[in-house]
Structures are given as C-alpha cells and as structure tokens.
C-alpha cells in the first residue's frame, strides 16, 4: 500500500447490491478513503462485483460478511443490505470496532435503529445513513436561504415526492417488495427521502401529527408500493401557526423527486432534490414577493434560477468525505467523539417512517407525537 494511503480510512463493503457500485466509486473518488475489501454471501458474486466494477486488484474479496468484519485492516463498513438484515450486521460491525455507513431505511423500526445506535455509541463509533442529497452543496445553499428570515420567512407548506415507475420484474422479485426482506417497501426506500426533506426544512423539529392518506397501495405480500401522508406542525405559541406538509412515494408512477417549500415571503422549488439531473451542477428556483398583476393575467416576478456547482466531488463522494473526516478524527485525535448530528437525523427520519407505517396499519388514522 502506498504511503499516501496509510492515513486513509479503509472501507469494507458488506453486500454487493447495485447501489454499492455507486458508493464504491465514491469511496475511491474521496480524498480520505480507500476501498479495502468487499464481501458477499458468495465468493463468486463478490468476484463478479470486483470484475464488473474494475476494482483495484489489491481489494480483498470475501465470500462471507463475517470474514470482512474480522479483517483488522477495515476501519469502516458500508452496508447496502436488505433492511431486515441491518440490525444484526450493523451491531456485529460495531462490536468488531467498525464505523457504520448504512443504506436507508436504517432499520425496520426505531427500536431496531436504537439497538444499532447504542452499539455504535458504546464503542465510540460514527454512524451515518446513506442520504446522499444532504451532502450536496445545493442543499447547503438552500438551507442558508431557507433560514434567512429576510428571504422565505416562516415556512408554512412543504411538498415532497419520490416516485419511480418500476418494471413488472421489480414489482415481482425485488427485495424492496418482499415482506421478509424490506417490509417498508416504497415508504422505506423512497418515502425516507420525502420525510427527511420535511424534517430538513423544519430544522429537524418533530411534527405534531402524521396521517397516512387514503388509497394506500400494497402488494400481495402486504408491502406498501405507493402511499401519501400528511405531516402537520402546530407551533407552541399563542399564534397557533401551522406548517403543513404532503409527501408521496410510489413504485407505480413516473420518476419524480419534487421538493417545494413555501414561506410567508417566498418559495423554493426543485424537481431533482435526491439525485441531481447533472452530476457537476444543480439548480433550484427561488421566488420572492410574488403577486398577481392587474386583472390577474400574470405575475409581477419570475422565479430566479440559482445554480450551484459541484465540481470537486459528486454528492456521494462528499458524503463519504464527511463520514471519513469524522472517522479519521476519532482514530487519530484523543478525546474526539462521533458527531451526534448524523445519528439524530437518522433517528428522527425513522420515527416519521414508523409513524406513517403505523397510520397505514390503523386505517389511515392520525399518529401523534
């Protein structure tokens, strides 16, 4: 191994899911990390993954997850496993002293996630979920504007969607529609982003009430393939101000990744908030002080298109760099602790996923926080 690689965080990838291809690339693009090992339940599958993705011949290949976790050279693991397997393997990774970057949804429920977080915390390890969009510079720019009181004002409405038109083969065979593997279905896979965006826009304040909307679609296995929900915030003040949010996630609709945030003074809108349409730059529309002109035949302003470049690294690379920045600090500097922000974001998002699922199970009755 070259001397420049000694200080890098050495990753092991546990599971060769399709998303692992993207993160393997990100690990190697980031300046402070290197892919050290991959593991599958089958050595042949792991070898195919390495070959298909042109991995460095020095990357170790394991035919079981246990073998990778027992590798003392692995500092951190990325886990793109079925959600039902997260609690077992993430806890085991933490017990083996590995920092944990895990795909969303983080767990089947917040109880399972708490088990994972406790294992990481008790061993002084960083936890983060794979919500890549949070690390994009566009997201940072939007948040600066969102919490500038002179711009959007008080947020009172949020709308978010994450949909994709899945193939018949996907709807029949993919792990995300199998009750014993990923029982949260579209809610966990896609709704995670929508609910996370609502929390992000409210600075991670939990809502007052969550209600699944009627017309939830489930498959023969009882897994949600399409659903919507209402999330309501009532501010604890005499004004009784509210923020209302609507989210929609589905495996049955054309691709959408919409996010609209409306405040008392303006609005912010984009239609690719999870995966930007271009890797090197992304944009959003900002509209301030909009009014109708005389006779209501037009508007007095046009939306401003704000472009944010992402030249150095794609958002998944920035995610890896943030994760490994903390991990490297923990490894090399006495007294440095894991960043609690990322586990807190994951836990609150999981709480909202749980609330929507509970409301669905109750026949779309409200669930209060």
Q: Looking at the structure, tell me whether residues 126 and 268 fall in a common domain.
A: no
pLDDT attached to residue 5: 42
Q: What angle do CA 64, 66, 71 make, to 5 degrees?
A: 105
In a domain, 3, yes or no: no
The DSSP result for 344-361, as a single string, is HHHHHHHHHHHHHHHHHH
Q: Looking at the structure, tell me whether residues 83 and 164 fall in a common domain.
A: no
pLDDT attached to residue 239: 58
| 104 burial type by CB count under 10 A (0-12 exposed, 13-18 middle, 19+ buried) | buried
In a domain, 97, yes or no: yes
pLDDT attached to residue 6: 45
Return the CATH number at 154: 3.30.360.10
pLDDT attached to residue 241: 77
Number of helices and strands (H, E) in the chain?
Answer: 11, 17
**pTM attached to this predicted model:** 0.95
Q: Looking at the structure, tell me whether residues 70 and 151 fall in a common domain.
A: no
Question: Residue 156's domain spans which residues?
Answer: 136-312+351-368
The DSSP result for 256-293, as a single string, is EB-EEEEESSEEEEESBSSS-SSSSEEEEEEEES--B-
pLDDT attached to residue 4: 41
Q: Cα–Cα distance between 305 and 82 in angstroms, integer?
A: 38
In a domain, 344, yes or no: no
In a domain, 35, yes or no: yes
In a domain, 198, yes or no: yes
- Asked whether 198 and 356 are in contact (CB, 8 A), the reply is no
Using only the alpha carbons of the chain, give its radius of gyration.
21
Residue 103: closest CA among 209, 17, 167: 17
Q: Looking at the structure, tell me whether residues 129 and 140 fall in a common domain.
A: no
In a domain, 91, yes or no: yes
pLDDT attached to residue 236: 66
Kindly report the number of other CB atoms within 10 A of residue 230's CB atom: 18
Q: Looking at the structure, tell me whether residues 102 and 59 fall in a common domain.
A: yes
Q: Which residues pair with 262 in a beta bridge?
A: 157, 267
pLDDT attached to residue 240: 65
Kindly report the number of other CB atoms within 10 A of residue 21's CB atom: 15
Residue 136 tokens, joined: 């994009």
What 3 state SS string does 289-347 have?
A: CCCECHHHCCECCCCEEEEEECCCCCHHHHHHHHHHHHHHHHHHCCCCCCCCHHHHHHH
- Asked whether 179 and 211 are in contact (CB, 8 A), the reply is no
Q: Looking at the structure, tell me whether residues 166 and 308 fall in a common domain.
A: yes
Q: Looking at the structure, tell me whether residues 155 and 213 fall in a common domain.
A: yes
Q: Looking at the structure, tell me whether residues 85 and 223 fall in a common domain.
A: no
Residue 112: closest CA among 91, 135, 143: 91
Q: Cα–Cα distance between 105 and 192 in angstroms, integer?
A: 6
Domains of the chain: total: 2
Q: Looking at the structure, tell me whether residues 286 and 328 fall in a common domain.
A: no
Q: Looking at the structure, tell me whether residues 154 and 209 fall in a common domain.
A: yes
pLDDT tens per residue, range 169-201: 999 999 999 999 999 999 999 999 999 999 999
pLDDT tens per residue, range 350-361: 999 999 999 999
Return the CATH number at 32: 3.40.50.720
Q: Looking at the structure, tell me whether residues 330 and 298 fall in a common domain.
A: no
pLDDT attached to residue 218: 97
In a domain, 262, yes or no: yes
pLDDT tens track of the chain, all 369 residues? Answer: 343 444 799 999 999 999 999 999 999 999 999 999 999 999 999 999 999 999 999 999 999 999 999 999 999 999 999 999 999 999 999 999 999 999 999 999 999 999 999 999 999 999 999 999 999 999 999 999 999 988 999 999 999 999 999 999 999 999 999 999 999 999 999 999 999 999 999 999 999 999 999 989 999 999 999 999 999 999 765 556 799 999 999 999 999 999 999 999 999 999 999 999 999 999 999 999 999 999 999 999 999 999 999 988 999 999 999 999 999 999 989 989 999 999 999 999 999 999 999 999 999 999 999
Q: Cα–Cα distance between 153 and 155 in angstroms, integer?
A: 6
Q: Looking at the structure, tell me whether residues 223 and 307 fall in a common domain.
A: yes
Residue 210: closest CA among 369, 344, 349, 362: 369
In a domain, 345, yes or no: no
């Amino acid at each position: 191994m070259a001397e420049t690689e000694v200080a890098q965080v050495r990753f092991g990838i546990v599971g060769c899911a399709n998303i692992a291809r993207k993160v393997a690339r990100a690990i190697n693009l980031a300046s402070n990390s290197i892919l050290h090992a991959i593991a599958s339940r089958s050595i042949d599958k792991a070898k195919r993954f390495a070959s298909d993705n042109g991995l460095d011949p020095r990357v170790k290949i394991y035919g079981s997850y246990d073998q990778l976790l027992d590798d003392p050279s692995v500092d951190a693991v990325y886990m793109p496993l079925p959600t039902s397997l997260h609690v077992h393997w993430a806890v085991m990774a933490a017990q083996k002293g590995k920092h944990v970057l895990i795909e969303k949804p983080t767990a089947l429920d917040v109880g399972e996630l708490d088990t994972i977080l406790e294992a990481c915390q008790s061993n002084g390890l960083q936890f983060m979920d794979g919500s890549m969009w949070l690390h994009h510079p566009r997201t940072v720019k939007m948040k600066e504007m969102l919490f500038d009181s002179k711009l959007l004002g008080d947020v009172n409405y949020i709308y978010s969607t994450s949909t994709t038109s899945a193939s018949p083969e996907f709807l029949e065979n993919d792990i995300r529609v199998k009750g014993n593997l990923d029982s949260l279905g579209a809610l966990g896979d896609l709704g995670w982003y929508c609910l996370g965006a609502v929390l992000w826009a409210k600075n991670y304040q939990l809502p007052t009430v969550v209600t699944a909307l009627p017309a939830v679609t489930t498959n023969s296995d009882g897994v949600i393939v399409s659903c919507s929900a209402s999330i309501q915030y009532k501010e604890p003040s005499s004004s009784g101000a509210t923020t209302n949010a609507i989210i929609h996630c589905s495996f049955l609709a054309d691709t959408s990744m919409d996010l609209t945030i409306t405040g008392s003074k303006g609005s912010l809108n984009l239609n690719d908030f999870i995966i930007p349409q271009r890797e090197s730059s992304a944009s959003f529309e900002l509209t301030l002080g909009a009014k109708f002109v005389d006779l209501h035949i037009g508007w007095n302003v046009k939306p401003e298109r704000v472009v944010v470049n992402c030249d150095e690294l794609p958002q998944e690379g920035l995610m890896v760099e943030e994760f490994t920045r903390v991990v490297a600090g923990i490894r090399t500097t006495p007294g440095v602790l894991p960043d609690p922000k990322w586990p807190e974001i994951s836990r609150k998002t999981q709480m909202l996923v749980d609330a929507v699922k509970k409301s669905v199970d109750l026949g779309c009755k409200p669930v209060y926080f």
